[in-house]
Copies of this chain bind each other. A is one copy, B any other.
Amino acid sequence: MAKVVTLGEIMLRLSTPGYRRFVQSDSFDVNYGGGEANVAVSLANYGHEAYFVSKLPNNPIGQSAVNSLRKYGVHTDYITRGGDRVGIYYLETGASMRPSKVVYDRAHSSISEATIKDFDFDKIFKDAKWFHFSGITPALSKEAADLTEAACKAAKANGVTVSVDLNYRKNLWTPEEAQKVMTNLMQYVDVCIGNEEDAHLTLGFKPGDTDVTTGELELEGYKNIFKQMIEKFNFKYVISSLRESYSASDNGWSACAYDGNEFYVSRKYEVRIVDRVGGGDSFASGTIHGLLEGKNFKDALEFGVAASALKHTINGDFNLVTIEEVENLVGGDASGRVQR
């Protein structure tokens, strides 16, 4: 198994139990999570030596975030302690036509105010095989953007494969700001994950003219954009999950990928949702695991889609499934029969 590194923010997630609205709830369920932390947990869970790089305050809430990662086997040696606060997001889980609602309270978190001096990236990337970050980290602050680039440079200098999940967050920056920072960062990236909207908002891509029949339109748009992306940035793979939001309770879930040569669309799952937060991260981590294991990009994609379909049935940000469980689903058993 490989040493893998992710860089980003881990937040305290405060969610209302049992579909309660915020005003109704006299308790919050406590979880910790965030894009890159979620990827680190998944990769640790699949057996990799996963390191999460971040900064957390030196108080019991910061310690609780650290412990939440250690519990699932993530190495926390490279988490710097200091700064003022753990970022928070409040979550109210929707149902049927009522959407889930996220209220962010993440400004001034320790990682958003961290600087390059807080980390020794050469030590961090020594012997590493993979580095993953998302479009959220550089959006946190100017310092965080610099930090992200420093990490990317050190990763490339150490021969580490780099992946990004574009993940546009409208509360953190504008498309213009995003495109300026993200376009620059793409030079370090080998594997780019992100849907059409993210590609548009963070990198400025638009689907060209297409004259296909309507049913195929969306996928043609993806293919068209993916081609442009590989042409411009020389990515090895461009990958996207495909979510069909029927309601807050039921989604269709699949994915597509392009290797510069072949455009591949995965099997599609119909998911009854328990908790869909972290779905994209579980897709990224599943696919990364597949690639790390040497699977071809189509098999890696199928692993990623199945892993993230399962995530939708699991509470919290983290995707707590075993390789065996994912493989069973890839192998075709979606019957949900009791396993004794």
Binding site for B on A (CB under 8 A): 14, 17-31, 59-61, 63-64, 67-68, 70-73, 84-86, 88, 90, 92, 94-105, 107-108, 169-171, 245-250, 269-274, 276-277, 309-310, 312-316, 320-321, 325, 329, 334-340
Contact = CB atoms under 8 A, between A and B. Distances in A.
Nearest to A15: B27
8 contacts: A60-B92, A60-B103, A70-B70, A86-B105, A97-B313, A99-B338, A101-B339, A246-B336
Contacts of A309: 96-97
A24 B73 contact: no
B245 A335 contact: yes
A36 B314 CA distance: 32
A20 B315 contact: yes
A263 B65 CA distance: 44
Given A98-B336, A339-B99, A61 B85 contact: no
A131 to B, nearest CB: 24
Given A27-B28, A28-B14, A60-B90, A100 B67 contact: no
A102 B28 contact: no
Given A70-B71, A335-B245, A23 B63 contact: yes
Contacts of A249: 272, 336
A60 B23 contact: yes
Contacts of A336: 94-100, 245-249
Nearest to A275: B19
Given A70-B73, A313-B94, A325-B98, A245 B26 contact: no
A252 to B, nearest CB: 11
A310 B98 contact: yes
A276 B338 contact: yes
A56 to B, nearest CB: 13
B97 A269 contact: yes
B23 A67 contact: yes
